[in-house]
Amino acid sequence: MTKDEVMKMALEALEADPLEMVADVDGHMVFLKDKAITAIKEALAQPEQDNTYAYASSLAKTIWQKHYIKESPKFALLDTTEGVLTQIDNMTCGLVREKPAQPEQEPVAWGVFEGNLHDMFFSPSEAQEMADLKGTHAEVRPLYTTPPQRKPLTDEEMKKIWYAMQNIMGWYSFQEIARAIEAAHGIKE
């Protein structure tokens, strides 16, 4: 019985006829005031409840809704304050932990290019054999389901392109520099 229920029973007993009788938990008839007194004593013997569980539950639900609802749509709170605090701890650790780096994608096949793609193989050695048969202009390139993320050129890579352009031609145009940069990123016609 909650403390509110006990207080309501006590109020009824105070307002009722002093000789009014009701059944107790065992079914015996007792005075309403005696039943209320017993309920009050039992309620007072209970330890004081704080709002820690309610507060922790509210906090856990908020963290879940903001950060985890898509990953874990069937979240349920544990029964104890300690259990809910453990859930909060796990969720906050997940927020501050670095996400593991995605493994580098593996090629799904290798293409033999001579201008456009001419042949596709599932082993790099077979692709290289075909390229060798086709001649010096054939090139073997890996094929991916999703192209790998291209990264900006490093300063060292840019210097190599710059010096190569100067040494080979002695002069250069913006198109030639752009084509050299494209080639460094694997972009070819």
Q: What is the model's pLDDT at position 5?
A: 80
* Beta bridge partners of residue 73, listed in sequence order: none
Structure tokens at 140: 């073997």
pLDDT of 52 higher than 70: yes
Of 16 and 150, the structure prediction assigns the larger pLDDT to 16
Percent of the chain residues topping a pLDDT of 90:
3
Whether the CB-CB separation of 145 and 108 falls below 8 Å is answered with yes
Q: Is residue 73 pLDDT above 60, yes or no?
A: yes
CB 143 within 8 A of CB 109: yes
Query: Kind and range of the H or E element at 119?
Result: strand 116-121
Position 48 scores a pLDDT of 66
pTM: 0.32
For residue range 110-138, list pLDDT tens digits in order.
888 876 667 777 788 888 888 888 777 78
Could you tell me which of 143, 141, 149, 152 has the C-alpha nearest to residue 104?
149
170, 151 Cβ separation under 8 angstroms: no
Q: What share of the chain is helix, strand, coil (3-state, %, to 5)?
A: 50, 10, 35
3-class SS of residue 118: strand
Judge contact between 80 and 55, C-beta under 8 A. no
| Range in 11-25, 27-41, 54-68, 97-111 the model is least confident about | 97-111
Distance CA(13)–CA(39), nearest Å, equals 11
- The mean pLDDT of 32-55, rounded to a whole number, is 79
Distance CA 8, CA 6 (A): 5
- Cβ–Cβ under 8 Å, residues 88 and 53: no
**For residues 152-156, average pLDDT:** 77
Cβ contact 119:127 at 8 Å: yes
Question: Cα 110 from chain centroid?
Answer: 34
> What digits encode the pLDDT tens for the residues 81-96?
888 888 888 888 877 7
